[in-house]
Amino acid sequence: MNVTICAVGRLRSGPEQSLFDSYVERLPWTVRVHEIEIKGQADPQKKSIQETQAITGKIPPGAIVICLDSRGKSESSEKLAKRIAFWRDEGVRDIAIVIGGADGIDGSLIDNSDLVLSFGAVTWPHLLMRVLVAEQLYRSHCILTDHPYHRGH
């Protein structure tokens, strides 16, 4: 399975990048990251639309699209792992996970996504969201392979 993470903003060298890399390196899946930056747009709604258009262009054709949004479903790690297993078993080759910018993801992409997922009601820094996504992907893999990581953390 291939995982594409489409994220607004750049993750520079530092602890977040190191932690992200440490989870991704343990995954059996190919993980690609596309970073989106729209500069010079002062209008938050227009910027969100432009970011969403740029993100949409990076999503592989036929991919399952998961948008991260505070208004989405809050699911357990076990349920997310079951979803990933279902998609894998159905022959899904690509999953795209979208992390929007400060003004969120435009409704057009939210409405057309396969899953809108929330990591809780609190607001997370966008760079930290990448780490949380990578950790949940790794945790899902561990759940599906009965690896002890899931039970110990």
Tens-place pLDDT, residues 35-78 = 999 888 778 888 888 999 999 999 999 999 999 998 899 999 99
pLDDT beyond 60 at 132 = yes
Report residue 106 as tokens: 């435009």
Does the predicted model carry a pTM greater than 0.85? yes
pLDDT reported for residue 151: 61
pLDDT beyond 70 at 12 = yes
pLDDT beyond 80 at 148 = no
**In whole angstroms, what is the distance from residue 24 CA to residue 36 CA?**
20
State the residue range of the domain holding 64: 2-152
Write down the H helix ranges in the chain.
15-25, 44-56, 77-89, 107-111, 126-144, 149-152
Q: What CATH number has the domain bearing residue 29?
A: 3.40.1280.10
pLDDT reported for residue 112: 94
CB-based contacts of 85: which residues, under 8 Å, 6+ apart?
Answer: 144
pLDDT reported for residue 150: 59
Please count the structural domains in the chain. Answer: 1
Q: For residues 79-85, give the mean pLDDT.
A: 97
pLDDT beyond 60 at 152 = no
